[in-house]
Amino acid sequence: MEKAQKPEKPAFRLPPGLVSYLQSAPLILIIGFFFVLPILMIAVVSFWDYDFAGIYPAFLTMNYTESLGSWVTWKTYLNTLKFTAIVWMLTLFIGFWVAYFLAFHVRRTSMQMILFLVCTVPFMTSNIIRMISWIPVLGRNGLVNQALVDLGIVPKPVEWLLYSDFAVVLAMVHLYTLFMVTPIFNTLMRIDRSLFEAARDAGASGWQILWNVVLPLAKPGMAIGTIFVVTLVMADFSTVQVMSGGQSASVALMMKNQMSLLQYPAAAANAVVLLVVVLLMVSAILRVVDIRKEL
């Protein structure tokens, strides 16, 4: 008689819930160490005391009361929001039409990619280099002023082209427009072209198709580009410092000056307030537009 086979022992298996946690553990550790922990450290330091000699562990609300109770701080925040709003509107307008041209007027996919790569060429250099390149163009003896004077449009060089709010906005638009073009272009490329044919068959004109078909479907990409541009402008200090010639201010520049004076707790308090403001703006955008389909 054949010997009865012994039943195999069931393989050891971890609970499904534990497997999910183990799979996500590397990502949680990376986000926790490089994102959550630094923010917590900034929040803790914002309550510390300081003087000209150093910073001291404590729990004081002085940094927040001095920051939020100062009209200079509020004026700086309003100036930062002004830059953000203007740059956002210009980058949205330029970015949408560039993406629209690439998506719908360039037929060949290879040419779309080539033109898109051409748009990214300036971003292969440093932000500082691209920003400083505007100085010989906008300066008193720059290319623009020389052309205006030679053509007789103005009798003397225009002073406000450089070291002004105009120069700051122009440089920021140059620096951040691609961050608006990319997500909008990605969204427009996903639109089903048969929708345009259906709209034309229903008697819609080109502008009606743009307003009723393209724009509603492009909202997720516009929202993602808005988040990129808003966060970048709110955190930019070098452009404001260089292009305004020290005549304008932003929250990030104020924090940079505080850190140069070793006022780290005060700078940390402003960083926390700025983070809250940016998060409120991003949450407002996410309430208006659902971007989960694009992620």
Domain at 94, CATH number: 1.10.3720.10
What pLDDT is recorded for position 6? 56
The pLDDT value recorded for residue 226 is 93
- The verdict on residue 186 lying in a domain is yes
Rounded to 5°, angle at Cα 44 from 40 and 49: 160
Give CA–CA dist 35/29, Å, rounded: 10
Classify 175 in phi/psi space as left (phi over 0), alpha (psi -120 to 50) or beta.
Answer: alpha
Residues of the chain with pLDDT under 50: 1
**pLDDT tens, residue by residue, 109-133:** 888 888 878 877 777 777 788 888 8
Looking at residue 1, its pLDDT comes to 47
With respect to residue 183, please indicate whether it lies within any of the assigned structural domains: yes
Q: Is residue 147 part of a domain?
A: yes
138: left (phi over 0), alpha (psi -120 to 50) or beta: alpha
Q: What separation in angstroms does the CA of 121 have from each of 125, 228, 273?
A: 8, 19, 35
51: in domain: no
Domain residue limits at 249:
71-294
Q: What is the pLDDT of residues 246-260, one digit of tens each?
A: 788 889 999 998 888
The answer to whether the beta carbons of residues 162 and 138 sit under 8 Å apart is yes
Given this model, what pLDDT does residue 12 score? 59
Enter the DSSP assignment of 125: S
Residue 228: phi and psi, rounded to 5, are -60, -50
Q: Is residue 56 part of a domain?
A: no
What is the C-alpha radius of gyration for the chain, rounded to an integer number of angstroms? 26
Query: Looking at the domain assignment, is residue 82 inside a domain?
Result: yes
Name the helix (H) or strand (E) containing 136: helix 135-138
Q: Is 6 part of a structural domain of the chain?
A: no
CB 178 within 8 A of CB 120: yes
Tokens linked to 28: 């949680």
Number of CB atoms found within 10 A of residue 197's CB = 10
**Hey, how many other C-beta atoms are within 10 angstroms of the C-beta on 83?**
21
pLDDT for 8: 59
Within 8 A by CB and 6+ apart from 95, the residues are: 177, 178, 180, 181, 184, 225
Q: How many domains does the chain have?
A: 1
Percent helix, strand and coil across the chain, each to the nearest 5: 70, 0, 25
